[in-house]
Structures are given as structure tokens and as C-alpha cells.
Chains A and B, each alone.
Chain A
Amino acid sequence: MTIATTGDAGRPATDLGHLLHKHPERHQSFSVTAGTAHVFYPEADERRCTAALLLEIDSVGLVRAAGRGGRRGARPAPGHQAGALAQYVNDRPYAASSLLAVALGQVFRTALRGECRARPELAGRPLPLRITVPALPAYGGPELVRRMFEPLGWRVTADPVPLDEHFPQWGESRYVRLALEGDGVPLAEALRQIYVLLPVLDGAKHYWVTPEEVDKLLRAGEGWLPYHPEHRLITGRYLHRRAALTREAMQRLELARLAEADDAEPEELDNAVPEETEETPGTAGTAGTAGTAGTAGTAGTAGTAGTAGTAGTAGTAGTAEEERQVPLAQRRREAILAALAELGAERVLDLGCGAGHLIQLLLQDGRFREVAGVDVSVRALQFAARRLRLERLPERQRERVRLFQSALTYTDSRLKGYDAAVLCEVVEHVDPPRLPALEYAVFGHARPGAVLVTTPNAEYNVRWETLPAGAFRHPDHRFEWDRARFREWADATARRYGYRVSVRPVGPDDPEVGAPTQLALFRTGTEQDQNRDRDDKREAGA
């Protein structure tokens, strides 16, 4: 990156050297965490002075350190390409990533603090500045870059860098060529903004977020972050989407902001901390548990968004549904609870239990004597165990619940003998050619007294404004059925395995497209039961 300023005889541009504490006529090298940082000045005279910070990263050393460091080593942010820093093929040596931010903090430590021994009067004064970063990784693109810097008073040029000129169809890369120009910001503050915003835009904070990070952020954000309209997004991303820490930081940010205004303790005022941060509806549930888990160092809750999709539970991915998913997921669970109560089921299987939302509800209801949560994702089961606080449940409660890994494309004798099995938003995560295997494993082999299946109603998708036409609600959905197709499947499955089935809507029942979720209730039973049902219906109709 380069930092340039202009000046004149009275206020020579070369004062930049004093402010940065780096001599304009010398090339200086510093050993920093990721490699070697070089500072030199491509130009330095009265009128124009440009300082360049070049970070030479030891990519081999970085990987080796990550390999050895284990826990303290590299961890990419969720949603990133796997193992960002564990790869030798890495953009870190070329892109202005969080590593550059760290180097900036180390090389210009004094300048960042706004101290200038030689010319103390310069330090707090805004300068005409032009800062360029040739390859800035920016998740969110130029648009987000502008949202970050413009409120701080910068004129922003952010040109996207093409991914590969040979393959124009690949489009733009995630990098932008950034130039910031302005004359209203003191150098120290400009550097602190860069220090915070590089990792925020980069999205991949490269080392573990620890409680000290919160303090660092607060220090670096002093004077500008509390007033930034995107402060919540910045905080969330900076802290690696660690929900618990986000909350802590939010409190402290609110402390920073409101303490100034109200002279009050932040705890007094912290009464409306949103559970969710941007982009991560999935963390809403985790927040509670992570908060109690306490130590930030423990292998994290971060990344729920990535995994829980397997389980098929709602609210796990940042899709179009996000704003409505929580209420819909709740309604789904309520509908399931109601159906289970109707059946008088006492021993219940939650097949594809995900992070255990439904199990949690079931355990709160004494009618369910035994609940088994099954998922194919071990991580989902870990989240579920944490959500349910299995290790701290009293013995009698603990005996009611069992969590174990299994796959519904295999038969499993442990699934036999239950009153009811719930497949809540699960079937649509199975490839259609593998569905017969699931049907046999559940209806033919496990053979619970009742089976509850919920799945999206594809017809309703047109009612989600944010969902592109024809798209599925979740990236892992292998199909989404309309009401007729679901009915057809339910009838065929019931016939094949000797169940009776009824289908009901869940959620607002739209006259045109139906409800967002459809629920099929399968029951084993004799013809007598069936006749009785029919009579009941007739009576109800009459």
C-alpha cells in the first residue's frame, strides 16, 4: 500500500516521514509476524511525498507455522475456501489482507497511536491524503468498500480486478484496486481505520479471536467506529462472527457510545442487544450457548452456518428466507409438537436433528419420555449436545435423551421401536435416487408407530421476494416439491409400507400457492382405525 500526501514550503509533504516515524530517504525493513515489512518512499519532496509499505510474506513459513501451531494456527472464517492459510497457494503474499493490517500495526505503531515526538503539533491535524491499496480483498465488493470508507470522509475509488483475462467468463475477482482520497482525517486515524477495515473486508481473520481482540478493536476504533453507520457489521466481521464475543463487543461498543452520551454504565443500558448479526442468521441459536461456554479460546461455535444445513433444520444458512425463517421454523416445530401430542407419542425419534432445536422443545414437555436425536453430521450432534447442555442435565433428564450419528440411507436397528419419528426438513436434502433407501430405512425397517415429514412447498417460493425464481430455499436442497408431488410421494410411501397418511399445511395458508411448509403425518394402524378416522371425518363434516 502507499500513503501519499501533498504539501508546500510551509508545510512540506515530507512531514509524512515524521508522522510515520520513518525516514523518507531510507529503505527500512522490519521483521513482523508474517514475514518482512519494507518501508520506502517512491517520492519525497516538499510538494509530494509517498510512503510505501511492502509486506514480503514467507508463505512457506506461514503454512508450516499453521501446521505446527494447531489451535493457535490459522482458521479461516466460515464460508471461505477450506483451510485458507493451510495452503501454499494463497493470496496472502499478494493481497492486502489482515496480515498487512497486522504489519501496519507493528511497523507504524507509534503513528497509529497519533504520537509524533519531532512535530507533536502535526499529529492530530487532518492531512490531504491519498492511500492506495492495489489488491484489496473485499468480500462484498466495491459497493461494501464504499460503504466502509465513505462515511469516514473519504473519496473512494474501488475498481474490481478481473479474475483472469484469459477467461473473461469468470468475471471479477474478490479484489479491488482501492484509492482513498481526503483531507479531513488525521493520519493516525486513517491508519487505524485501515487497520480495522482491512480484516473486515478480507473476511478471513487469520488468527484466533481472543478477548484481547475486543480491546484492540475498541482502541483502534476510538473516535470513529462508534459513529460509523456500519459499526455492527464491522464489529461482527472483525471478530470472526463469534457470536458470544460479538455480544460482548456490542455491549462494549454501546458502552463506548452511550457512556459518552449518558454517563451511565453500559450494563444498565444493554437491554436490546440483537441476537443476530448480519449475514449469520444461524448464529442466533448458538449465541446463547456460546455465551455460557465462556472462554473464547475453545474450539468454536463459529461455522454453525456452514454445517447445520446437513441437518436440514431451518435458520442455518443465509438464504433468501432468512428474515422469515425463524418464525417459520418455530411454527414448524409447533405443528410437529401438536401432531405428536395428538398421537400421544411418548418415545420420539428426531431424524436429522441438526442443532437440536426440536429436541430442546420435546425435553421441555414431560409427555415425551424418551427422545433420540439422530443426525449424520457429527458436528451437528456436537452443537445439539451443547445446545441441550447434555453434560449438565440432571440424571433423570439426561436419561430421556440420546444423540447419535446415523444415516438414513442405511438401515439402523437402533431406530426401531419408537412411537413416532420426525423428519423435519430432511427429505429434501436427499438425492432423489436415494429416497427409496430412506423410505425403507424409516418406514420399512425402523417402523415407528407414526412418521412426521415436513418439507418446503415449492409453490410458495414465489412469495419470498428475495428468492430468485426457480431457486431452492437452501443451497443443499436436492429438490423442492409442490403440493401435488408431495401428496403423491406420501400416498405411494404410505401404501408401500402399510401406513395411513394425511397432509396438512404449516404456516400461513395462501389461497393460491398454499402454505410455505407441508407436513405429512403417517400412521400405522388397522382398517378399523381407518374406518374410525373416516367416521370422525364424516361427523366433523356433518
Chain B
Amino acid sequence: MTELAIPDLSLVVLIGTTGSGKSTFARRHFRPTQVVSSDVCRGLVADDENDQSATPEAFDLLHYITGKRLAGGRLTVVDATNVQREARARLVALAREHDVLPVAVVLDVPEPVCRERNAARPDRAGLPPHVLPRQRRELRRSLGALQREGFRHVHVLRGEAEVAAARVALRPRFNDLRHLTGPFDIIGDVHGCRSELETLLGGKLGYVIERDGRGRPVGARHPEGRTAVFVGDLVDRGPDSPGVLRLVMGMVEQGTALCVPGNHEQKLGRWLAGRKVRVAHGLAETIEQLERVEEEEEEKKKNEEKERQERQPEGGGFRARVRAFLDGLVSHYVLDGGRLVVAHAGLPEKYHGRTSGRVRAHALFGETTGETDEFGLPVRYPWAEDYRGRAAVVYGHTPVPRASWLNNTICLDTGAVFGGRLTALRWPERELADTPAERVWYEPVRPLAAEAPGGGTGRPLDVADVQGRRVVTTRHAGRLSVREENAAAALEVMSRFAVDPRLLLYLPPTMAPCATSAAEGYLEHPAEAFAAYRAAGVREVICEEKHMGSRAVVLVARDPRVIGERFGVAPGAPGAVWTRTGRAFFDDAATAAGLLERLSAAIGGAGLWEELETGWLLLDAELMPWSLKAGGLLRGQYAAVGAAARAAFPEALAALEAARARGVALDGGLLERQRERAADAAAFTDAYRRYCWPAGGDGGDGVPAGVRLAPFGLLAAEGRSLAGLAHDRQLALIDRMIAAEPGAGGGTGLLAPTGRLVVDTADEASVAAGTEWWLELTAAGGEGMVVKPLAAQVRDGDGRQVQPGVKCRGREYLRIVYGPEYTRPENLARLRERHLGHKRSLALREHALGLEALDRLAADEPLWRVHEAVFAVLALESEPVDPRL
């Protein structure tokens, strides 16, 4: 029995003449979907599996399907004769293109057997007699050349019996260590800093270091069974590369460490193998140190003339051990169920778990743009900025001042040998541990990059993250789709008007009104809101006063530096204030800064930075007066309507009165109706005037006098979303900020409280009190209220999302929405025919996306992931829905 070892991700190319039993072989050893057959492809394109004229098209299709499968990381078997070199060359190229190993399986079955089999098949009766001998000749010619053609494994099965006896054994790839779940301590570039490595392992990471008789570290174990993973570049430049190798090799042999090679290991390996290498970038130090080791250990005399000989394997035990160790290193590892990838220079997603020369090259050297910088060093292609994979990629290679995550990748090379730090990442904890260098062991050619890749340089997100039709997967509402035209509209607003996406961490969702009321004179009434929540099984709701301003989202930090450090945006103000569509709320940066400073001081005064263990907060708020932001709309539309009415009615009424006075019968109560209309228009004017008050002049800190900010929701702090906190608790924290606002007394401060009332929807008296509260609020000129389930993020009895809040707008306020005369019975009757379905669905979807953005932010996910959800909210806002709802 022959066992055919085949890597579990490879392109298996069956080679054999017609009738050699390829299809039968494929059927026996592989799943039907793994096999791509040229006969089947011929049938698909030409309705006839034996139509030779369709061969070119059939092979196009075969290559296409094979390419798609390999791109998806699926083992694929090509069932075609493949006796010609050119045919195989296409397949080898295809395998390389997708970085999988090409494997050849040759079915070398005698010609008579094949002929007999073909004869037994009526569909092959037309096969010209010369075909089979020709294929045999081609096959024989090919046999010796397969390795050279690029096949990494070649299995030749000779004769029917061998074919029948063969077994296929799928072998995992060397880089596939998904079954190892750690926990791991991944350690950055050591570069011969043995002492720092001992400090880090033995101190911060808690390993017990084992030493040989001369006190040299030769192994280390963690009492809890953790595994160390070295990202490579153990050697060169530093003071004790052999010492580092001795320790790491020991750990790898013990099974307490894994190690991937760095470019420096690769070069040392080549030098050790006697290959010609340029001794530079710290290799000279390593060579010298190795030689010293040998002098000590072997007590051999060094002989300059015989240097090359000495580099032969027999030259020394330690060298041989190092050489064997370096030879055995695997370019990268996929660990922990596929959630973690370790490669020295990082690895784009399409190379994870793949095996090819270029995968190895990228893992060792990274990708360069082909250009060199002013220090003569190659310019690296910032692959991490394009990275969109779900697996975390941990790497080293490029020294950075500080390890930080970018798109779920992190570089742990913090330049220990250049006097920086030696850094480790605990996995799955995602915590960093480091130890400072004892000194500058090696002067860098260029200064350590002033900024981590992608950080602080304003490098933007990619348009492919947001453009076109998209599906965003959310924790709260599953998959939500964004249509292309909505995304296009959002792109325009986002790119032309919105604040920097690194700060734009949330956009507020739209909110549905309560169901339309049938109560006389009302279009909206809280009774409907209470009833709806009661029906959904929500008993405790909170009524919150609706402020008469504009929605604002506020990112506020303890200090402007926090904004720089946490969000990578050049610090100016301690945060940002933006509108519903992400535009900066204030044209004037100084005003925003003043407001943020005052808010920041209030939060500090309330002790919330410490209490919430954060340096920044994201708040949902209302900024007043409305006229501050909506001045143009107020003047251009609302005030204009009032002005036109005030100009028109006195004359119209005077004319009507004159006509009546001289005895003209005015039909249908025309005069009375015009008087009512005039009164409606006056009421409308009163309604909008409540939203306007002068805000101007410096009220202190550069905030215009008269401006008020009413935070009503806490959204996020460092490492956590606060949107799940019950609303009364959120408001209680906000109340403390308001109380702590410096210099505010007697309601003259910047911060305004939010009136509220908790209602039990199942208790009639409580519901009546809620209604009464709303009536009082709106009678005093208030806009209305918002009713929310007290506990945020509740679901109904069937596990469906309930509306996160509904608004009940006051009767007078609605004149601004539905027009001055909406309360006239004939108008109300028609306006009650409004359709809330789309609005409600939109509110739920946007809410889920908003929460998703906050959750992604809390999980420290890459910016593009947060932005994706925020962008989707904006895109959905461009869906057509009745704007008055």
C-alpha cells in the first residue's frame, strides 16, 4: 500500500492518459466538490464531454473554478490528462498565484489497460487510435521533469495494482498550529539583548529560567504552562546573540516556545551554510560572538586562513545546533483557532497559512515599494494599513517607539537594541509588557520612526471600506444592508463636511414618534407611547424632557493630549462636537474648544474620570438654542412664514370686514375662518420664537453667552460602551457633571439638566402622571418628551428589539413640523394617515449600528470597523422617509 502524503491545502494535479482511471481515483480519495474535471467543464460549455473543439473554453473554465477555490483556501484536484508540459505549467502558475503547493499524482497505467477501458465506454468510441499512444509518449517524457516544473511533491503510481492500493493522507501544513491555543506571550525583536530578554521573561512575564552549569540560560518554563512566541530577529547588533539563541533554542526544544524566523536569522543561516552574504547590519557582531563561544567551548584555535572550513558543520557543536535550528524555522504560524498569526515582518490576510516563496519572503522581509528613503533604506509598503482580516497579526521587523494596534495588527519591535524597549504581548489578554533596554547597544541608521504606522499622519481609511452596497454585521440586529445610492450620498457628506473619522465615533440614530393619536386635537400623545411599551412587555420607562436645541455628539477628553494619544489626531481641543451628520458643530474652533474645556472641567470636578477609569467620554447631547445651528432655516423658512402671515392677514381681514360691513354675504364662514387662520399663524410664530434666543458674545472660555449643552446620554468611555447602562443611571452621572460645573450658579452655566420621570406602564396612576407631566411640559412651551425603556437595550417577549425610544412631541411644537394650521380638524384628519413602519424600522437599524460602533470601539477594533458602522448610520439617514416623523 502506498501512502500519498499531500498537504491539506494544495493543488493536486492528476496526470495520466485517457482511460488511466483518474476520475475513479479522484472519486475514491476526494470529495466530489474538490475535483474539477476537464470533461465536466467541456460538458458545461458545449453540452458534450467529448467535444474536443470545446477544449480551450473548457480549460478556461477549469482554471477559473480552480482559481476561485484556491483563493478560498480549498484543496483542489484537477482531473485532466495533464500529460503536456504546457498544461501543467498553467496549473503550477495558478498554484503559485494563490500561494499553495502544487502536487503531482501520476497514474502510470499500461496502454492496453487504458485502451480496453476506453473501448468499454460508448462515449469514447470515437477516440482516434493515435491519441492514446501519443499521450503515453508525452507522459513518459514528463516523468523525470515534474520536480523541476515546480511540483513540490510528486507521487508516481505504477500499474493498476499500485493505483488501487494507494491511500491519500492529508497532512497539515507546518504553519498551521491552529490547535494550539496558548495562552501565549509573544516577544518582539530581541537582537542579541539577552539580559533584557531574561529580565522580561523572568520578571514581567513570570517564566522560570533554567541555567547550565556556567549560569547561562538554556531554557525557561512558565508555571501556568504559557508558551512564548518569538517574532524573529533574535540575533545581530546586540551584545549576546549566542546567548539569546541558546535560551530560545532550549525553550523551543522543551516545547515552551515557538519561534518564527526574522530576516537576520535567514541571513545568519545562509552564512552558516557557507553561502556568500554581505556582513552588515550587525551580522559581524554575531559572527564574532559565535566565534568567541567556540573559542571558549571548543578551545579551538581560530585560524583566519581556514575561516571557510571552520564554517563547515563539523566546525563546532553549537554552530551545528544553531544551523539546524535556523533551518527548521517555519515562516509564520497560524495559532489559536486561526485568531492569531505571527510573522516576523507581518503578513497580509491572503498569505495566512499559505505556502510559497513569496509568502516566506513577505514574512521575513515585508513588502517594499522599491524606493529608498533619505537614509538609503528601503521604503516599506504599509501592508498593515490595508489589512482587513479578522485574525490578529503580530509582528516585529520595523522598530517603532511604542507598540500599538492598527487594523488588528501590532508591531512588537520597540527597538530594544537601539536603546528602546523589549516588548511582549500577552495573548489572548492582549496586554502589553515591556522592559527598557539597559543601554543603546547599537546606533540606529535612522531615528526610530516618530510615529507608528498609520498613526498621527492622517493616513485615511480606504474607500472600499464604505463604498457600494454593503452589509454590516451587528451584534444587536444581525446583518444590516446599506444600499449603494445611500452609501454614495453618505460618502459625499462624510468626505466633504464631516469631522475626522478617527474622532467621529458615533452618529445618533433617528427616532420614531409614538403611534399617531386619535385623541381630539392631538397628533401625538404619550398615551400611545406608554401603551406600546406595555404591549411589548416593558413596564419601566423613563420620560425625558426633549430639549429645544440641536442634536450634538460630544467627544470630550480630560486633556487635549488624550485625543492625540488615544485617537491619533493632532491635539488641539480636548475633543470634538458634531451634528447628526457628522459636521463640526461650530465653525469656530475656539468656541468648540471653550465648550469642551468647560465640560471637561465639570467631568473632572465630578470625579468621573477616575470613577469611570477613562481619559475621555463620548456623550449624546442637545445643544441650545436651536437658532445657534438652525439660524438659516429659522430665518429662511419659519420666520419667513410668520412674516408673510403677519403681512397678509391684517389686510385680508380688513377687506373681508369692509365687505361684510357693506352687506356682502360672505359664504361659508370665510371671515371667521380667516380669523382662525391668523390665530394659527400667530401661534406658529410663538412656537418657533421659543427656539431662538441670542447667543453671542463671550460668556467665558470663549463659549458664547446663552449657549447651553444638555447631555442626556453616556455613550462610551475607554474600553467600554456605556450605552447599555440604565438611563436613570446615565442621567444621575450627568447630573453630577452639571453640579460640578465650575463657576455655574443659578442655572447660568453651560450645562443644562434633563427633566425626567419614571413611569410604570402597567400602573394607570403612573401613566396618568406621565401624561400630566407631558401636558405641563408642553403647556409651558416645551417641545415634548422622549419615552425610553428604563433599562437600555431591552427586547420584547419574542426576543425582538423594541424601539429604543419614541418621541411625543407637544401640540404647539408640531406646528413647526406640520404647519401653522395643522390643528384644524380637516387637516388633522388627513395628517393622521401617516405611515410609521419605515421610520420605526430605520430607527431600529440605525440604533443597532450606533451600538455596534460603540461596541467595536470598546473592543479596540480597527478604526475601519468602527467607521463602517458609523458610516452606515449616515447612509441610512439618506433613505427616503417622511421627514416630519
Flag if B459 contacts A135 (CB, 8 Å): no
Let me know if A434 and B500 touch, CB within 8 A. yes
Q: Which chain A residues border B650 with CB–CB below 8 Å?
A: 134
The answer to whether B458 and A439 have CB atoms under 8 Å apart is yes
Q: Which residues of A contact B458 (CB under 8 A)?
A: 434-437, 439-440
Who on chain B is nearest to A137 by CB? B644
Q: Does B357 contact A (CB under 8 A)?
A: no
By the criterion CB–CB under 8 Å, are A90 and B819 in contact? yes
On whether the beta carbons of B495 and A376 are closer than 8 Å, the reply is yes
CB of B780 within 8 A of chain A?
no
**Are B488 and A40 in contact (CB-based, < 8 A)?**
no
A224 at interface (Cβ–Cβ under 8 A)? no
Select the stretch in B210-218, B665-673, B790-798, B800-808 that faces chain A: B665-673
Q: Which of B461, B464, B485, B644 meets A94, CB within 8 Å? A: B644
Q: Using known A-B contacts A40-B656, A376-B495, A406-B463, determine if residue A164 contacts B819 with beta carbons closer than 8 Å.
A: no
Q: Which of A81-89, A143-151, A294-302 contacts B (4 or more CB under 8 A)?
A: A81-89
Taking the closest CB of chain A, its distance from the CB of B443, in whole angstroms, is 25
Q: Establish whether residues B658 and A94, one from each chain, have CB atoms under 8 Å apart when the complex forms.
A: no
By a CB distance below 8 angstroms, the chain B residues around A434 are: 458, 495, 500
With A and B bound together, what is the CA distance between A41 and B659 in angstroms?
6
Are B659 and A407 within 8 A (Cβ)? no
**Bitwise interface map of A from 409 to 438 toward B, beta carbon under 8 Å scored 1, else 0:** 111110000000000000001100111111
Most chain B beta-carbon neighbours within 10 Å: one of A64, A377, A437: A437
CB of A232 within 8 Å of the partner chain: no
A42 within 8 Å of B (CB atoms): yes
Q: Using Cβ atoms and an 8 Å threshold, which residues of chain A touch B677?
A: 93
Smallest beta-carbon distance B123→chain A, Å:
43
With the chains together, A437 CA to B495 CA distance in Å? Answer: 10
Given contacts A27-B659, A134-B647, A411-B463, contact A164 B822 (CB under 8 A): no
Q: Select one of B371, B460, B819 contacting A59, CB under 8 A.
A: B819
Known: A29-B668, A88-B817. A408 touches B659 (CB 8 A): no
A128 interface residue per 8 A CB criterion: no
B647 engages A177 (CB within 8 Å): yes
Complexed CA–CA distance, A406 and B694 (Å): 40
A98 contacts partner chain B, Cβ-Cβ < 8 Å? no
B641 to A89, Cβ gap below 8 A? yes
| A132 interface hit (Cβ, 8 Å) | yes
Q: In the complex, what residues of A have CB within 8 A of residue B830's CB?
A: 60-61, 64
B651 touches A91 (CB 8 A): no
A411 and B461 contacting across the interface, CB-CB below 8 Å? yes
Chain B 453-482 interface 0/1 with A at a Cβ cutoff of 8 Å (1 = within): 000011111111111000000000000000
> Which of A25, A44, A173, A430 is in CB contact (< 8 Å) with B640?
A173
Please report the C-alpha to C-alpha distance between residue A489 and residue B655 in the assembled complex, in whole angstroms. 67
B633 and A40 contact, CB distance less than 8 A:
no
> B463–A412 contact, CB under 8 A?
yes
Chain B residues with CB under 8 Å of A137's CB are: 644
Are A410 and B462 closer than 8 Å at their CB atoms? yes
Chain A nearest CB from B711 CB (Å) reads 25
Among B462, B492, B496, B689, point to the contact of A166 (Cβ < 8 A): B689
Q: Which of A57-74 contact B (CB under 8 A)?
A: 59-61, 64
Q: Which residues of A contact B609 (CB under 8 A)?
A: none
B496, B500, B664, B817 — most chain A CB neighbours (10 Å): B496
Asked if B884 is an interface residue, CB under 8 A from chain A, the answer is yes
Q: A175–B641 Cα gap in the complex (Å)? A: 10
Q: Which residue of B lies closest to A404 (CB)?
A: B467
Q: Does A54 reach chain B (CB closer than 8 Å)?
A: yes
| A491 is an interface residue with CB less than 8 A from chain B | no
Interface membership of B752, Cβ < 8 A = no
Provide the residues of chain B in CB contact with A437, threshold 8 Å.
458-460, 500
Task: Assess the B460–A441 pair: CB atoms within 8 A.
Answer: yes
Q: A155 within 8 Å of B by Cβ?
A: no
Indicate which residue in A26, A56, A59, A95 contacts B644 across the interface (CB closer than 8 Å): A95
Contact of B491 with A by CB under 8 A: yes
Looking at chain A, what size class is its interface with the partner chain?
35 or more
Q: Is the CB of A444 within 8 A of B645?
A: no
Complex Cα distance, B463 from A412, in Å, reads 6
Interface residues on B, range: 35 or more
A193: min CB distance to chain B, Å: 21
Contact of B658 among A42, A89, A429 (CB under 8 A): A42
Taking the closest CB of chain A, its distance from the CB of B246, in whole angstroms, is 43
For chain A residues 22-66, which have a beta carbon within 8 Å of chain B? 25-27, 29, 38, 40-44, 50, 52, 54, 56, 59-61, 64
B4 CB within 8 Å of chain A: no
Interface centre among B467, B495, B827 (most CB of A within 10 A): B495
For the complex, is B692 an interface residue (Cβ under 8 Å from A)?
yes
Q: Are A94 and B664 in contact (CB under 8 A)?
A: no
B488 to chain A, nearest CB (A): 5
Question: Which A residues touch B822, using CB under 8 A?
Answer: 60, 88
| Cβ contacts A227-250/B at 8 Å (1 or 0 each) | 000000000000000000000000
The one of A43, A87, A175 in contact with B643, judged by C-beta atoms closer than 8 angstroms, is: A175
Known: A41-B664, A59-B819, A135-B647. A90 touches B641 (CB 8 A): yes
Contacts of B500 in A (CB 8 A): 433-434, 437
| Complex Cα–Cα for A429 and B816 (A) | 34
Residues on the B chain within 8 Å of A170, using CB: 635, 639
Most buried by B among A25, A40, A61: A40
Residue in B485, B644, B658 whose Cβ sees the most chain A Cβ within 10 Å = B644
Residues B806-844 near A (CB distance < 8 A) = 816-822, 827, 830-831
Chain A residues near B491: list those with CB within 8 A.
376, 405, 407, 410
Q: How far is the CA of A498 from the CA of B459 in the complex (A)?
A: 16
How many Å from the CB of A377 to the closest CB on chain B?
6
B462 x A52 contact (CB < 8 A): no
> CB < 8 Å: which of B570, B655, B667, B692 contacts A42?
B655
Most buried by A among B496, B640, B816, B884: B640
In the complex the two chains form, what is the Cα distance from A512 to B386 in whole Å? Answer: 47
Q: How far is the CA of A376 from the CA of B467 in the complex (A)?
A: 11
Kindly state the separation between the CA atoms of A406 and B458 in the bound complex, as whole angstroms: 18
B652 interface residue per 8 A CB criterion: yes
A343 within 8 Å of B (CB atoms): no
Instruction: Tell me the bound Cα distance from A439 to B666 in angstroms.
Output: 71
In the complex, A2 has a CB within 8 A of chain B: yes
Residues of B within 8 A of A52 (CB): 652, 655-656, 659
Q: Does A163 contact B (CB under 8 A)?
A: yes
Q: Are A408 and B495 CB-contacts (below 8 A) given A88-B884, A134-B648, A437-B458? A: yes
Which A residues are in CB contact (< 8 Å) with B494?
407, 409
CA distance A150 to B663 in the complex (A): 37
Q: Judge whether A405 and B640 touch: CB under 8 Å.
A: no
B495:A81 contact, CB within 8 angstroms: no
Report the bound CA distance from A164 to B636 in whole Å.
11
Are B639 and A163 in contact, CB atoms less than 8 angstroms apart? yes
Quick check: A88 and B818 within 8 Å, CB to CB?
A: yes
The reply to whether the CB of B649 lies closer than 8 angstroms to some CB of chain A is: yes
Q: Is the CB of A410 within 8 A of B640?
A: no
- Indicate whether A186 reaches chain B with its CB closer than 8 angstroms: no
The residue in B489, B569, B642, B817 that gathers the most chain A C-beta atoms within 10 A of its C-beta is: B642
A429 touches B460 (CB 8 A): no
Quick check: B495 and A409 within 8 Å, CB to CB?
yes
- On chain A, the residues within 8 Å of B656 by CB distance are 40, 42, 52, 54
A-B contact pairs, 15 of them (CB 8 A): A25-B664, A27-B666, A38-B670, A52-B652, A64-B830, A89-B818, A135-B643, A161-B646, A310-B492, A410-B462, A412-B462, A433-B499, A434-B495, A440-B460, A498-B371
In the A-B complex, the 8 residue pairs with the smallest Cβ-Cβ separation, listed nearest first, are A436-B458, A407-B495, A88-B819, A42-B658, A94-B644, A410-B463, A437-B460, A135-B647
Known: A134-B650, A411-B460. 5 other contacts (CB 8 A): A40-B659, A60-B827, A93-B677, A173-B640, A407-B491
- B residues whose Cβ falls under 8 Å from a Cβ of A: 371, 385, 457-467, 485, 488-489, 491-492, 494-496, 499-500, 569-570, 633, 635-652, 654-656, 658-659, 662-668, 670, 673-674, 677, 681, 684-685, 689, 692, 694, 816-822, 827, 830-831, 884
